[in-house]
Amino acid sequence: MSQTPIGLIGLGLVGGALAARLQRSGFCVVGFDVDGARRRALKKLGGRAVDSAAEVFAACDRVLLSLPNSEVVESVLREISPQLRRGLRILDTTTGEPEATAQLGAALARQGVRYLDATIVGSSTQVAAGEVLVLVGGRRADFVAAREVLATFARRTFHVGPCGSGARMKLVVNLVLGLNRAVLAEGLVFAQRLGVSPRLALDILKAGAAYSRVMDTKGDKMLRGDFQPQARLSQHLKDVRLMLAAAGRAGQRLPLSLAHRDLLEQAEQLGLGALDNSAILRAIEATVAPREKLPSNSRRRTSEPKSPP
């Protein structure tokens, strides 16, 4: 694979980690991001940073997308439409809107472009370690052809159906994962409120039936107040809104996700949106009322018998 060029558009938290994995695996990453600092970071990795998405598509027959949402994906593909050609392969790691993703895949297929929605389950830190799952929607033959690239950063890959299926399954995973994260934060705040050491509480939760992997990846971050982003809180709020919209179309109500959305929106209002999604802990803390203390004479009166009339 030495010096085999591969395109990458979007060099943020996940995209930057993808670039590092691809470079170490022998690919030469040709990348673009609207942020100049991210392009400079790619150069330091040994990749080739270019000045437009069109240059990426002109130079590469395989291109990965790591973008914020479906709207940005569609905007990029409209911009580079002259470079869309038969045989081009696109691996879209964006957590997008499933129906829009399915429609995009169908439209690209009519042009002979092989498109996969290859959503990633895991944070940028896990991408960097090669410890993520990838959920792939699209033609099975295209999935098989993409395994060489996917193996550079994925611990396991799953072909889950036609285009749009990766995006749908990612919403299912993120629903459970996000609620695990929220309930861990609520439990740690609850422990502290009851006078139990949150550190001790986390150790006990890890040891028993309440355990989830979120405790390993986010528990210490919550305890330390370390909200350096691995995956941003606002990005998960975007995903929760996608879940609720998809559930509405399917005729299902998601009561826990509705409460989760409200909590994440409160977190954004507190200025936490750009922080790691474990910062939901701060939003939960903000819902805790100060302890009310009875005046000393009131406490005494409640414990003393009333004088006879």
Identify the structural domains of the chain with CATH numbers, from first to last: 4-163 (3.40.50.720), 168-286 (1.10.1040.10)
> Mean pLDDT score of the chain, rounded to an integer?
92
pLDDT at position 302 is 35
Helices 214-224/165-193 angle, 10° precision: 50
pLDDT at 162 over 50: yes
Give the model confidence (pLDDT) of 211-223 as tens digits: 999 999 999 999 9
Q: For the sheet containing 114-121, what is the strand order? A: 48-49, 27-32, 4-9, 62-65, 89-92, 114-121, 132-137, 154-161
Model pLDDT, residue 296: 42
- The confidence score (pLDDT) of residue 291 equals 56
d(CA 115, CA 109): 7
Query: Model confidence at 169, in pLDDT bands (50, 70, 90)?
Result: very high
pLDDT at 4: 81
Residue 300 has pLDDT above 70, yes or no: no
**Model pTM?**
0.86
Please state the rounded mean pLDDT for residues 24-31. 96
**Is the model's pLDDT at 297 over the cut of 90?**
no
Is the pLDDT score of 47 beyond 70?
yes
CA dist 59 and 5 (Å) reads 8
**Placement of tokens 């169908």 in the chain:** 106
Q: Is 1 or 36 the better-scoring residue by pLDDT? A: 36
Spatial separation of the C-alpha atoms in residues 99 and 77, rounded to whole Å: 17
Q: Give the residue, 287 or 265, on which the prediction is more confident.
A: 265
